[in-house]
Structure 1
Amino acid sequence: MPPTLSGLHHVSALTADLSRNHDFYTRVLGLRLVKRTVNQDSPGMSHLFYADALGTPGTETTFFDFPRAAREHRGQGAVSLTTFRVTGEEALTFWAGRLTGLGVPHELTRRDGRPHLPFEDPDGTRLALFDDGGEGPRGGPWAGTDVPAAFQLQGLGYSGSAVGDLTPTRDLLERGLGLREVRTYDLEGHPTHVFALGSGGPHAELHLSVRPDLPRARPGAGGVHHVALRVRDEAELSAWARHLTAEGFSHSGEVDRHWFRSVYVRDPGGLVFELATDRPGLTADEPLETLGQTLSLPPRFEPRRATIEAHLPPLTTQETP
């Protein structure tokens, strides 16, 4: 088995309105736009990365632009919750007040023994903030938001999904990706199984709810396309590709994404997992001070820059209040 996966790298979802999406994740949630680029498999489509001030793996949420797309039909075989970590009850109280003031419906509840603050973005992407108790890595504070540094999002927490049959997904997670089941809890009357990556913790878990009562999900705006898991470097990624092949799991092979290298593997139930390297990182081609301010393209797309820029929809930004 290759070295263990250390946590979530990023989560990639779909939006029907890029400017509205940018406003929500920067102005409301206080994240930094750290990369403005394109979908490398379809370069006529914008792709935005939001993260902490440093663009640190494990804090990244990304969105592909599908203008005017219909919303996701929710169901099994899909990610059902993306979480962000904050620290302390005072932080959750701050966020409850902030969301109220900005007109974002929310509720304070408990899940898996921790206080949670669930809400949705304008596309219907299901999100939650939860108190991580000070566990896990700390994000770099972003000075470009009015959210106080102590209350800023510390990075991604666990990813929650709904599956119709846990057996094939468990096989991929345990035998294919080296995760281990560490506990279960009840969620709305349905068993939810928690799988840990590496040493575990609130930043390094996948929560799978068994929901045979749900229809199969259909992709759309607000849905999550894939969850990426952290691999340290290219040597480890190659080892994971060989391991998956040896264990009989089909995968994409190694894919060069310029800021990281990836291997994609699909669970038979529909979930897509990406293994992504931490290096070279989002600052490999842009100074830290100006991340996300201009269109950044992988070198193979540079000869087509003028054409790509001419066809991308404009990104309208708003000032932080």
Structure 2
Amino acid sequence: MYQIPGHHHISMLTKNAQLNNEFYQKILGLRRVKKTVNQDNPFMYHLFYGDLTGSAGTELSFFEMPAAGRTVRGTNAITQIGLLVPSSESLEYWKGRFEQYDVKHGDITTYAGREALPFEDSEGLRLILINNNGAEVPEDWAAWEQSLVEQEHRILGMGTVEMTVRNVDKLAKTLTDMFGYIEVSRSEQEAIYQSVEGQVLGEIVVKQQDGPSEKPGRGSIHHLAIRVKNEEEIAYWNEVVKKRGFQSTGVIDRFYFKSLYFRESNGILFEIATDGPGFTADSKVEDLGEKLDLPPFLEGRRAEIEAGLTPLE
């Protein structure tokens, strides 16, 4: 069985792409590495933020839905995103930065055994900065030197992702029996799983919560994509998902990566995505995120698509 090396990206809903763009670039200091559209609805922006090239494991992605209502929080949902920062000093820096920019945040605390600082974006999306404390990160993660955040405190990439479900055992079996995640701790209300033991890059915290399911809206999390290397591995996982009894979309060519989607038994949507070819497939590194990029099958509709989108800075 192939090992899942960690998270690939995570996708959310935003009501306003311009405000979203300002928050993630100007306040969080991430690079917008791709300005494209939802390939299933090309009149909807799909924005990606990350490191210099949007390396797998650093990508936060947003679908713009101008009609999105508010999120009604509940269970059976992905409920928080962890982002890694270098040190304890970084958490203090970010606390000050959040106060400067009037970003809703909590106090520095402990989360999943690590020092952390919870905060929310302008639409109520729950995030938490986690002290990476000098642990290694993938060699391909590369800092964006034009970030507005001081170099020694920049966000490195994705860390712990939190899921809240009615039935922890069902999700646990999917993670451990199907994907080979390791259960590193378990209590009555919470369990922690890692795709690579000891690494936060593929860590998932699962919390038990009864009650109604979350009603998605602006600031909600749509799905988590986990990482595989190539087409051979994703074809393998497609068969595993189907043999497990889940309904797979089959492998879809997203141009920047190949992917498939399925829902586990609580309704959590997972994507499995390949590392490549990546966002430089149609752009030079220095030009990433500047213009509207379309996959080849949509290029012939560029004029129509651009006319239907609100211009974005």
SS of 1:278's partner is strand
TM-score normalized by the length of structure 1: 0.93
Do the aligned partners of 1:55 and 1:283 also contact (CA within 8 Å) in 2? no
236, 258, 263: which one aligns with 2:260: 263
Partner Cα distance (1:247, 1:164) in 2: 20
What is the match of residue 220 of structure 2? 223
Q: Is residue 2:99 matched to residue 1:83?
A: no
Taking the TM superposition and a 5 Å limit, the aligned residue runs for 1:12-31 are 12-31=11-30
Do the aligned partners of 2:112 and 2:205 also contact (CA within 8 Å) in 1? no
173, 176, 189: which one aligns with 1:174: 176
Do the aligned partners of 1:118 and 1:129 also contact (CA within 8 Å) in 2? yes
Q: CA deviation at 1:314?
A: 1.9
What is the match of residue 105 of structure 2? 106
What is the match of residue 167 of structure 2? 165
SS of 2:204's partner is strand
Partner Cα distance (1:77, 1:290) in 2: 39
What is the match of residue 202 of structure 2? 204
Partner Cα distance (2:136, 2:129) in 1: 14
Partner Cα distance (2:265, 2:311) in 1: 37
Q: Is residue 2:134 matched to residue 1:137?
A: no
Taking the TM superposition and a 5 Å limit, the aligned residue runs for 1:1-321 are 1=1, 3-107=2-106, 108-137=108-137, 139-184=141-186, 191-212=189-210, 214-315=211-312, 317=313
TM-score normalized by the length of structure 2: 0.96
Of 268-277 and 163-172, the range deviating more from structure 2: 163-172
SS of 1:182's partner is strand
SS of 1:99's partner is helix
Partner Cα distance (1:303, 1:285) in 2: 15
Do the aligned partners of 1:142 and 1:149 also contact (CA within 8 Å) in 2? no
SS of 2:238's partner is helix
- Equivalent residue letter for 2:112: D
Partner Cα distance (1:80, 1:31) in 2: 21
Count of paired positions: 310
Partner Cα distance (2:194, 2:247) in 1: 22
- Equivalent residue letter for 2:307: A
- Equivalent residue letter for 1:267: E
Q: CA deviation at 1:251?
A: 1.1
Structure 2 runs not aligned, ≥5 long = none
Partner Cα distance (1:48, 1:60) in 2: 10
Do the aligned partners of 2:182 and 2:197 also contact (CA within 8 Å) in 1? no
Matched-pair identity in %: 39
SS of 1:312's partner is coil
Do the aligned partners of 1:230 and 1:275 also contact (CA within 8 Å) in 2? yes
SS of 1:27's partner is helix
SS of 1:129's partner is strand
> Cα deviations across residues 28-59 of structure 1 (Å, max 9, x unaligned)?
00000000000011111100000011211100
Partner Cα distance (2:196, 2:261) in 1: 19
Partner Cα distance (2:133, 2:236) in 1: 34
- Equivalent residue letter for 1:40: Q
SS of 2:34's partner is strand
Partner Cα distance (1:255, 1:135) in 2: 34
Q: CA deviation at 1:246?
A: 2.4
Q: CA deviation at 1:200?
A: 4.5
Do the aligned partners of 1:136 and 1:203 also contact (CA within 8 Å) in 2? no
Do the aligned partners of 2:51 and 2:142 also contact (CA within 8 Å) in 1? yes
Of 100-109 and 82-91, the range deviating more from structure 2: 100-109
Query: Over aligned residues, Cα RMSD in angstroms?
Result: 1.3
Of 12-21 and 196-205, the range deviating more from structure 2: 196-205
Q: CA deviation at 1:146?
A: 2.2
SS of 1:43's partner is strand
Partner Cα distance (1:80, 1:254) in 2: 26
Q: CA deviation at 1:192?
A: 1.3
Structure 1 runs not aligned, ≥5 long = none
> Cα deviations across residues 156-191 of structure 1 (Å, max 9, x unaligned)?
001101001112212222222222211136xxxx62
